[in-house]
Chain A
Amino acid sequence: MANQTDSHGAAEAAGMPQLEFSTFPNQIFWLAVALVIIYMILSRIALPRVASVLAERRGVITGDIAAAEDLRRKAEDAEAAYNRALADARAEAARIVAEAKAEIQADLDAAMETADAEIAAKVAESEKAIAGIRASAFGNVETIARSVAAEIVEAMDATSDERVIRDAVSARMGGLGG
């Protein structure tokens, strides 16, 4: 297999270049140099810097969370105070409403009482007037009945004196006239 490579130029690989042991010292030397340089860059500059950035971020986040917690507690306090004020205001309002109601009720009761008294007085007055009217009406009824009775007797061609008729009418109406 290796004999095939003879026909090609020197720049071509003879077998696996990985097994070209003459290049090993070169590769190992430069690898060591590269690794040492990378290690120096990382351990001196890059890693401490990234670590400090991450630590700072963690600090900032912790601080922010603490501040947020603080603010949340403040907000809760404010809410509690607000609720307390609200409850107080409600109680005050309820008290005022009850007071006003009681006052109105008292006014109403008084007004009702005077109104009732007035009504009672009017009723009594009216009853008195009605009784008067009724009495006079009965008086009139008797007079009319007497004259009607006299007319009826006359119409029946009977004679009677006025006294008899009056007594008879009075006797008939005794239950009504009073």
Chain B
Amino acid sequence: MASEAQAEGTGLVFHPMDQFIVKPLFGDGPIHWYTPTNVTLWMFLAIVVITLTLVVGTRGRAVVPSRSQSVAELAYGFVYRMVEDVAGKDGLRYFPYIMTLFMFIVCSNFLGLLPMSFTTTSHIAVTGVMAAAVFLGVTVLGFALHGVSFLKLFWIGAAPLALRPVLAVIEIISYFVRPVSHSIRLAGNMMAGHAVIKVFATFAAVAVISPLSILAITAIYALETLVSFIQAYVFAILTCVYLRDALHPHH
């Protein structure tokens, strides 16, 4: 898959994937696991944004909230209610973890919308680790809480006996596909939108189609703003769904 293609004759050079390159922040050396890279920078900017919203914004601790405090309370209430509604009351113990994931993803997604920025959540390494952590955590939790009876998640008592083995196979496959779809959904959405914007931006170099191109960029940018939030929401709510399966495996 080429990230760029020189369109012969037009002189347009497409580099839609260059925005996703991981680069060292200082110098040009090899990337070790500890090297501060643009990943580091944008993740720490996400931390800064989260701190500004949730810590600095609420420093007044006002009963009648200021605007910034309202935003923090809105975010808190949004995720809290989602965990409560989807995972149940006993899922609220894991609310800080889900809040961490949601805030990180939503802030990274929105930071990625800034021009010249780097979208950490467009990398499968990042979303994959989060999805794997959710998958492992939920599975371990299920066995820790219910022991072997957690496996009843795959043995559907409501179905006819003859169908149960077949359903069990399907359920097991779908269970193990979860982290894959969980991670690729987020990374794919973020990557595709940003790449499409970049392609349209390249077309803006041609005077004749540049108005159309800029219009398209605007439209896709609006769509991406929506997608940035929705994907964070989807990631968090799926985490809640998996958590509910671990807490209550007996449908």
Contact = CB atoms under 8 A, between A and B. Distances in A.
A49 B58 contact: yes
Given A16-B3, A38-B103, A54-B73, A31 B22 contact: no
Contact of B18 (A13, A51, A60): A13
B47 A17 contact: no
B4 A27 contact: no
Contacts of B18: 11-13, 17
Interface in B78-103: 95-97, 99-101, 103
B96 A41 contact: no
A83 B69 CA distance: 48
Chain B interface size range: 35 or more
Contact of B96 (A20, A47, A57): A47
A26 B97 contact: no
Contacts of A31: 39, 43, 120, 125-126, 129-130
A81 interface: no
Contact of A26 (B21, B22, B51): B22
Contacts of B99: 42, 47
Contacts of B100: 35, 38-39, 42
A41 B47 contact: yes
A14 interface: yes
Contact of A17 (B21, B62, B73): B21
A18 interface: yes
Interface string B119-130: 010111110011
B15 A12 contact: yes
Contact of B125 (A24, A38, A49, A60): A24
Contact of B47 (A14, A37, A50, A60): A37
Interface string B184-227: 00010001000000000000000000000000000000000000
Contacts of A32: 129
Interface string B30-61: 01111101011001101100110011001001
A47 B53 CA distance: 12
A4 interface: yes
Contacts of A11: 18, 21, 23
A53 B129 CA distance: 33
B58 A46 contact: yes
B97 A39 contact: yes
Contact of A23 (B22, B46, B72): B22
Contact of B3 (A15, A42, A46): A15
A18 B125 contact: yes
B20 A53 contact: no
A25 B130 CA distance: 14
A26 B73 contact: no
A38 to B, nearest CB: 5
A5 B4 contact: yes
A30 interface: yes
Nearest to A36: B100
20 contacts: A12-B15, A12-B18, A15-B1, A15-B2, A25-B32, A26-B31, A26-B34, A27-B125, A30-B40, A33-B43, A34-B43, A35-B104, A38-B47, A38-B103, A41-B55, A42-B100, A46-B51, A49-B61, A54-B73, A56-B61
Which 6 pairs of residues, A with B, have the shortest CB-CB distance? A25-B33, A46-B54, A1-B2, A34-B43, A23-B22, A17-B20
